[in-house]
Structure 1
């Protein structure tokens, strides 16, 4: 069977941007920003996108393009059958994320319809409480999942590439228009201050918690660690500069996130609404409630939730494609049957999250961060200590002079520096969940020791050093 491929470079870039943008930027980003000190979170998030997200994105690209297959197939081809479980971790991460993601997608569809009818304007808290979980949420999740499956069924070039070429520019245009409109509202200074003015005292006091949240968001929003970018890169040719494409993708993704904040926080503060009640309903309760007091409220609500719907769909398509690619590549299943089988799986897992708020919160707030962190950690250690020079060779293929000059520092970063940081973040999250207080120095020492032990086991001839 001839394997699918991207028709154009811009098609790949926009598909990857669509995966990265998602509701991570429009739903999860405001939620985490509001819960972690506003600008304090924003600063660390931007740093982690640059220092962790982009190198990690390139690391995933390298494995995908060199392996030319789904996560399990790529790890098996490049590292042997013993590495297949690492691909399985990535596959599992994509299933975990889309299992709650499609539920949020269902919420968005309900709010898109509610913007036309004005159903949520009078009582946003009650409206969200009526649709967030239960049989209605299951039905909305199924509709969202069917739309996602339809695009994936059409294929890489005729489905995913065509859809994201329309959706991603639409997201950017609508967000720019909404951000300009938001700036004209009265009393928006408080929103800009919360979002852009750094409180150093808050950052110093809560650094570990904010750093863990920012690192998790950087990984979540760039779709690294779940095998999405690995799968998309597997459809690439050798003539592309991974460094150039990865940088463009990260920049466009970050711009969309910043634009979302420039819409949401000025609107909330203009109307005297707190940044959010916290948790996954913050956007749907606080912002939706604000629309009622605005001129042309139904039009503004429809435009905003239209952006969110496009963003959600572009990401859900990429997550859905990972297990579909596995079935097509590893088991020679026709794309139509693979799409149907994966859809049935997500029908079950997503319905569970739509029926249980505890399961949804567990997946969205804890398991997703942990799975993405473990996934990326495994990718980077594999790049540096199993592929080693072969990873650098793949990185440099099609790259320009500047990217080539940065190749060796990139390899050092992904082989040593970033694994230590990711292990530190992982340990911080685990001890926090367990309610165990451990000094940051102790966590760092444990991270260094853990990475050193992993390197000793994994190191092969031709490794990074």
Structure 2
């Protein structure tokens, strides 16, 4: 019987954790969040959120995984049998995210090749939604939905992504995930640096950076402190939301990854290095993105606000337009940009799928080979719905609900259950014993008091906004089926997985792996 897999080195663990955290949102979401929420002034709530929620939860999950020596369900059940359901809920959230995240990576692969001859043409929006995605006009209506049929040119790169993920995950933690992280992460940072260098040397780049970085303190301060934004609290919630989602916390990834740590490996320093590396990459990406947006605005005589966008619109509509307008080396810049999306997305995908594999291996005593076969097979089949013409519409709805009502609420339960009903001082001290520096009692205060209050407020505001108007104007039946029911299903299925199926692994002792 072989011992549980472990990372080969501390560097390997940190790079793998950074690879999980640095995802698509760092490139296509963060720049716009900064721009919309006070520019340079946003750094204040951003770093406040990092220190009061991001790093505390990260260190908590590192400690739980290292102590539990198992997947999220196993590690949480070793804290208390009553906590296992939460681990399975987080695992199922990862399952849902996996099925649509892989589709976006497939799009990025296609656009990587489109870059070389600018195949998207001049009307990049029509190309994305029409020629490439094949989105029907009546994809979602009050009377029903039209999936629009399978898009083979999306299915082919999607199969390639799954094949690559299968190969890496089959090889295991040290030979697969760690090895690819040591290759991909340096490449990703070099590629992003090249993008930034090229972007900031473009005419008009300073205009974009000025809009990005000029601080607007009025947006982040309440009225009695001179604020000019009646919704100033939404800026702070945006900061917490960005930190929460970008660090891969509260949906089992960091518990799983830290469970592969050697018991003597550092926790605290690794957590800070990983968190600040992720933040550094986000700001690097923001500089490159807004320098390019500034160039586009100046070259077309537009305002930055008319060019700036977030999410799919930024990556697959705005950036192809920017690439079209480049004075030279259009294809090279485009290929670098979409290569960064592919690498960032793929490294995050690997971490999300590993959560599922680890949980099945622990619960049902499966070999890695068997678990990889089942997980990749089922996830690949489920992801086919996102290769249809209506895939992007379904993705938009599912992503919105699983993030706002899955991850946030799961995170709220995590800090309450562990912070209020276990001895977190013991977790902190065990982390300190193996770390380069000690974390003090401020960490307890964050986990027990500050972070739960913030997440509770975020949850309240999310529900308030959701019931005030239909998300993106989608009909009720679509939001019910692909939104509320999707989140509800992940929670309901978690309980039988936790309490109906018995452990094949001894969940009271340190786990072993085949």
Smaller-chain TM-score bracket: 0.7 to 0.9
Contact 2:28 2:311 in 1 (8 A): no
Contact 2:31 2:283 in 1 (8 A): no
Supply the distance in 1 between the matched residues of 2:204 and 2:43 (Cα, whole angstroms).
22
Post-superposition CA distance 1:321-354 (Å, at most 9, x none): 0000011112111212211211122223322344
Aligned to 1:455: none
Contact 1:25 1:256 in 2 (8 A): yes
Moved more, 366-375 or 63-72: 366-375
Supply the distance in 2 between the matched residues of 1:271 and 1:113 (Cα, whole angstroms).
22
RMSD: 2.1
Post-superposition CA distance 1:410-439 (Å, at most 9, x none): 122111111111111111111111118xxx
Which residue of the other structure, out of 381, 384, 398, is the alignment partner of 1:363?
A: 398
Aligned to 1:287: 319
TM (norm. structure 2) is 0.79
Post-superposition CA distance 1:118-171 (Å, at most 9, x none): 212433212211334652434433322222222111110000000000111111
Contact 1:175 1:307 in 2 (8 A): yes
Matched, 1:253 2:286: no
CA 1:33–1:378 in structure 2 vs 1: closer, same or farther (change >3 Å)? same
Post-superposition CA distance 1:87-135 (Å, at most 9, x none): 0121122122222211111111111111123212433212211334652
Aligned to 1:107: 107
Supply the distance in 2 between the matched residues of 1:373 and 1:42 (Cα, whole angstroms).
22
Matched, 1:395 2:396: no
Supply the distance in 2 between the matched residues of 1:275 and 1:20 (Cα, whole angstroms).
27
Which residue of the other structure, out of 163, 166, 169, is the alignment partner of 2:183?
A: 166
Aligned to 1:305: 338
The 5 A counterparts of 1:217-366 are 217-272=242-297, 274-278=306-310, 280-294=312-326, 295-355=328-388, 356-366=391-401
Contact 1:96 1:368 in 2 (8 A): no
Supply the distance in 2 between the matched residues of 1:249 and 1:278 (Cα, whole angstroms).
25
Moved more, 254-263 or 274-283: 274-283
> Tell me, what secondary structure is at the counterpart of 1:313?
helix
Report deviation, 1:390: 2.5
- Structure 2 unmatched runs, 5+: 136-149, 221-228, 298-303, 470-514
Moved more, 6-15 or 121-130: 121-130
CA 1:375–1:249 in structure 2 vs 1: closer, same or farther (change >3 Å)? same
Matched, 1:432 2:465: yes
Report deviation, 1:260: 0.6
Supply the distance in 2 between the matched residues of 1:277 and 1:77 (Cα, whole angstroms).
44
Contact 1:32 1:213 in 2 (8 A): yes
When Rg is computed on C-alpha atoms for both structures, the one with the higher figure is 2
Aligned to 2:9: 8
> Tell me, what secondary structure is at the counterpart of 1:116?
coil
Contact 1:11 1:165 in 2 (8 A): yes
CA 1:113–1:37 in structure 2 vs 1: closer, same or farther (change >3 Å)? farther
> How many positions carry a matched residue from both structures?
432
- Structure 1 unmatched runs, 5+: 437-465
> Tell me, what secondary structure is at the counterpart of 1:292?
helix
Which residue of the other structure, out of 370, 375, 383, is the alignment partner of 2:410?
A: 375
TM (norm. structure 1) is 0.87
Aligned to 2:491: none
The 5 A counterparts of 1:441-460 are none
CA 1:88–1:342 in structure 2 vs 1: closer, same or farther (change >3 Å)? same
Aligned to 1:84: 84
Aligned to 2:236: 211
Supply the distance in 2 between the matched residues of 1:283 and 1:44 (Cα, whole angstroms).
26
Write 1 or 2 for the structure with the bigger share of helix: 1
Supply the distance in 1 between the matched residues of 2:463 and 2:378 (Cα, whole angstroms).
28
Supply the distance in 2 between the matched residues of 1:277 and 1:412 (Cα, whole angstroms).
37
Post-superposition CA distance 1:337-384 (Å, at most 9, x none): 211211122223322344333321122233223322122223222332
Moved more, 175-184 or 131-140: 131-140
Aligned to 1:444: none
Question: Where does structure 1 differ by over 6 angstroms across 4 or more consecutive aligned residues?
Answer: none
Contact 2:83 2:417 in 1 (8 A): no
Aligned to 1:44: 45
